[in-house]
Amino acid sequence: MRATVKLFAQLRAGRFKVEEIQIPEQTRVKDVVEGLDIPPEEVAICLVNGHDTGSESVIQNGDTVALFPSIGG
Amino acid sequence: MKIYRINMSNLSSTIEEVPDEWRLMGGRALTSAIVAKEVDPACNPLGSKNKLVFAPGLLTGTMAANSGRLSVGSKSPLTGGIKESNAGGTAAQRFAKLGVKALIIEGIPPGDKYYCVHVHKDGVNIKEETELLDKGNYEVIKTLTDRYGENTGVMTIGQAGEYKMSAANISVKDPKGHIRSAGRGGLGAVMGSKKIKFITLDDNDGAGIEIADKEAFKNAAKIFNKGLLSHPVSGDALPKYGTDVLVNILNEAGGLPTKNFRRGNFAGAEKISGETMYDTIMERKGDPTHGCHVGCVIRCSQTYNDKNNKYLTSGFEYETIWGFGAGCEVDDLDIIATADHECDDIGLDSIEMAVTMQTAMEAGVISFGDGPGILKLLGEVKEGTPLGRILGNGASFTGKAYGLTRVATVKNQAIPAYDPRSVKGVGVTYATTPMGADHTAGYAVTANILKVGGFVDPLQKEGQIELSRNLQVATTFIDSCGLCIFVAFAVLDSGDVAQAMVDMVNAQYGTKSSIGDWFELGRTTLQTEKEFNRAAGLTSKDDRLPEFFSEEVPPHNAIWDFTNQELDSVLPF
Ligand code: SF4
């Protein structure tokens, strides 16, 4: 399965802005976070296809996962 | 503390004792109380019966972090209702240190002469002004700083205020001589109608600030300060990226209004995002982190340089970047920064003007994506050409001039940077705040998108009415303290920080009120504002979004689906 991962703000440091990844079925958002070596507490908001689904949600083929630290304005 | 009162009809002034009923008010609570008591709600906002009121907050001038905001109140020429607009800069703390609880300006001088006002420890001086007429705000501030020294506070209007345009703001000099603005609602036009080009403030030998229990104040201020710095939003994200960090998240969440509210995402978002802005600032030797007033510990402002590393603008906010950017389909940050600079210089609310440009594009005056066209139209506003005078009166006026229905305003005030269909909580605020569309009046983006103060799904109706109501009440209190709205992230997430905020007020004024009691001040202020609006002729029909928001907005195909009854239940008084 493929998914697009987008990182924002401080989460980009030493990583990337956007990348396509290959993942097995049943991969959850938190597994992706772990795979990128991001401490889970640094991720405040995860959007899957623009919906705030939480880190437990299972990613489907072709999904876009956007990860944000705590931000505001 | 004192009230300074100026009557421009005969150029006289008085110093008055503060009536008991106003003693425990500041900022928005005070400006709204004074306007409600002294201004005929039916008056012409640009006529002699309207008044212009300046007030520092309850905590302004103290060591409380982020407490240096100034409230400006009046009847708004844009909305036709009551207005409070607040700004950072160098004025509020000087009022507080002079022991001035409010400056009330009334009347209109006969004849064509313009004046300037100097505020100091013994009162005010009113003098004729000729040299700086027709000048932009940057030149006014520079000239006055040369004339009176670095330490002088300045509030000024640009050409827009002199033309009495409904998008005219009041600009306040910041600690670096740059510009902060009491932006919304056309208060610059009211100042222009009173024939005042600028007001300077000298706080030398001022009466100072009385604090009933200094020790208790210090302790609470420490907790408050620490709370702001340890919250990840106010401690990390805002200082580094500024408010423009919101472009990418609103874009991803489908709430970034694009092409005059046709879509919720913009292909050029990354190019105008906070991340790109940060890299650009660093590359060009600007400054990503700057406070708009002394004592701000969050420092969300910045200095943005042009390609030649020369100063271009500061206080470069998400809402402005959204409006001239995604809203107009312009993905060039330098053009947007130039538009921001021009708005500051001409003295225009950059949110109102950005939505006005979207409206002008809708009308075909220029086309979507035409960045240089925006700058050309701002030039027309500055010159005061007939087209410029239409645009300078805001989005509603421009929409009417061109026979449009797709005009994003509530109570004639432009809707800012969050689509109300896909960030529904803030939509409820746009519709129902007595101020006209204003995100800061009840910033539900916190719980809808940023997961601060809980989570309420932005695409569902459930919980939004309550969320907006609670935030509107709390915000009115924060505005009354003279605190920057960005303290709210820590206040919403931590009971200790909220308590510390209230403890500071209690320690300063010798009161023992609870959080609930103080928030009651927020509620009564909202009530006062709504009563003024009703007497001014606004009805519940004005608490609605424009019809076109019943269209679906991609990518989530969200619609605006609140009933009138639901909206009328938000502030049911
Ligand atoms: S956080 Fe930003 S807006 Fe608030 S007081 Fe500081 S610089 Fe001004």
Cα of B140 to ligand 1 centre, how many Å?
A: 23
Burial of B119 (0-12, 13-18, 19+ CB in 10 A): buried
Residue B249 · residue A8 · CB < 8 Å: yes
Q: Residues of A with CB below 8 A from B485's CB? A: none
In a domain, B100, yes or no: yes
In a domain, B541, yes or no: yes
Atom of ligand 1 nearest to the CA of B300: 2
Which amino acid belongs to residue B64? A
Residue B538 backbone phi and psi in degrees, to 5: -80, 140
Query: Distance between the two ends of chain B, CA-based, in angstroms?
Result: 32
For residue B402 the two structure tokens come to: 């061109």
**Domain's final residue, options B150, B181, B201:** B201
In a domain, B317, yes or no: yes
Query: What pLDDT, on a 0 to 100 scale, did the predictor assign at position B241?
Result: 94
In a domain, B562, yes or no: yes
Tell if the CB–CB gap between A10 and B236 is shorter than 8 Å: yes
Query: Is the Cβ of B213 closer than 8 Å to some Cβ of chain A?
Result: no
Query: What pLDDT, on a 0 to 100 scale, did the predictor assign at position B55?
Result: 98
Cα of B272 to ligand 1 centre, how many Å?
A: 21
Indicate the number of domains in chain A: 1
Q: Where are the alpha helices (DSSP H) in B384-463?
A: 386-391, 395-401, 424-432, 445
Cα of B558 to ligand 1 centre, how many Å?
A: 32
- Domain ranges, residue A58: 2-69
For the CA atoms of chain B, what is the radius of gyration? 22
For residue B314 the two structure tokens come to: 């500061």
Whether residue B275 is found in the same domain as residue B355: yes
Q: Residues of A with CB below 8 A from B251's CB? A: none
Whether residue B296 is found in the same domain as residue B401: yes
Which contiguous run of DSSP H or E holds residue B353?
A: helix B350-362
Checking DSSP bridges between strand A2-7 and strand A64-68, what pairing results, if any?
parallel
Indicate the number of domains in chain B: 3
Whether residue B399 is found in the same domain as residue B524: no
Residue B38 · residue B32 · CB < 8 Å: no
Query: Is the Cβ of B131 closer than 8 Å to some Cβ of chain A?
Result: no
**Domain's final residue, options B419, B451, B470:** B419
Whether residue B223 is found in the same domain as residue B165: no
Q: pLDDT tens, position by position, for chain A (73 residues)?
A: 999 999 999 999 999 999 999 999 999 999 999 999 999 999 999 999 999 988 999 999 999 999 999 999 8
In a domain, B206, yes or no: no
Minimal CA separation from A11 to chain B, in Å:
11
Q: Of A6, A17, A44, which has the smallest distance from its Cβ to B451's Cβ?
A: A44
Q: Of A8, A45, A73, which has the smallest distance from its Cβ to B275's Cβ?
A: A8
Tell if the CB–CB gap between A71 and B241 is shorter than 8 Å: yes
Tell if the CB–CB gap between A73 and B489 is shorter than 8 Å: no
What is the Cα–Cα distance from B221 to B217, expressed in whole angstroms? Answer: 6
Whether residue B164 is found in the same domain as residue B288: no
- Domain ranges, residue B485: 213-241+420-573
Q: Which of residues 421-450 of B touch A (CB under 8 A)?
A: 446, 449-450
Nearest CA, atom 2, ligand 1: B300
Nearest CA, atom 4, ligand 1: B484
Atom of ligand 1 nearest to the CA of B291: 7
Whether residue B326 is found in the same domain as residue B297: yes
What is the Cα–Cα distance from B36 to B533, expressed in whole angstroms? Answer: 9
CATH of the domain at A61: 3.10.20.30
What is the Cα–Cα distance from B118 to B228, expressed in whole angstroms? Answer: 35
In a domain, B78, yes or no: yes
Atom of ligand 1 nearest to the CA of B88: 8
Residue B558, C-beta contacts closer than 8 angstroms, at least 6 positions apart = B254, B264, B419, B421, B422, B424, B459, B552
Q: Residues of A with CB below 8 A from B316's CB? A: none
Cα of B228 to ligand 1 centre, how many Å?
A: 12
Whether residue B415 is found in the same domain as residue B446: no
In a domain, B208, yes or no: no
Query: What pLDDT, on a 0 to 100 scale, did the predictor assign at position B142?
Result: 97
Q: Which residue of A has its CA nearest to B417?
A: A73
Which amino acid belongs to residue B54? F
- Who lines ligand 1 at CB under 6 A? B 66, 88, 291-293, 296, 298-301, 484, 486
Residue B256 backbone phi and psi in degrees, to 5: -95, 100
Tell if the CB–CB gap between A72 and B555 is shorter than 8 Å: no
Q: Of A50, A51, A73, which has the smallest distance from its Cβ to B238's Cβ?
A: A73
Q: pLDDT tens, position by position, for chain B (573 residues)?
A: 999 999 999 999 999 999 999 999 999 999 999 999 999 999 999 999 999 999 999 999 999 999 999 999 999 999 999 999 999 999 999 999 999 999 999 999 999 999 999 999 999 999 999 999 999 999 999 999 999 999 999 999 999 999 999 999 999 999 999 999 999 999 999 999 999 999 999 999 999 999 999 999 999 999 999 999 999 999 999 999 999 999 999 999 999 999 999 999 999 999 999 999 999 999 999 999 999 999 999 999 999 999 999 999 999 999 999 999 999 999 999 999 999 999 999 999 999 999 999 999 999 999 999 999 999 999 999 999 999 999 999 999 999 999 999 999 999 999 999 999 999 999 999 999 999 999 999 999 999 999 999 999 999 999 999 999 999 999 999 999 999 999 999 999 999 999 999 999 999 999 999 999 999 999 999 999 999 999 999 999 999 999 999 999 999 999 999 999 999 999 999
Q: Residues of A with CB below 8 A from B265's CB? A: 50
Mutate which of B301, B316, B317 for ligand 1? The one with the most ligand atoms within 8 Å of its CB, which is B301
Whether residue B152 is found in the same domain as residue B64: yes
Tell if the CB–CB gap between B450 and A45 is shorter than 8 Å: yes
Residue B66 · residue B296 · CB < 8 Å: yes
Query: What pLDDT, on a 0 to 100 scale, did the predictor assign at position B565?
Result: 98
Whether residue B411 is found in the same domain as residue B295: yes
In a domain, B51, yes or no: yes
Whether residue B189 is found in the same domain as residue B330: no
Cα of B292 to ligand 1 centre, how many Å?
A: 5
Q: Inter-axis angle of helices B274-283 and B333-346, to 10 degrees?
A: 90
Query: What pLDDT, on a 0 to 100 scale, did the predictor assign at position B555?
Result: 97
DSSP classification of residue B262 = T
In total, chain B counts a number of residues equal to: 573
Cα of B175 to ligand 1 centre, how many Å?
A: 12
Q: Which residue of B has its CA nearest to A18?
A: B270
Q: Residues of A with CB below 8 A from B244's CB? A: 73
Query: What pLDDT, on a 0 to 100 scale, did the predictor assign at position A5?
Result: 98
Whether residue B449 is found in the same domain as residue B415: no
Whether residue B221 is found in the same domain as residue B185: no
Q: Residues of B with CB below 8 A from A66's CB? A: 249, 252
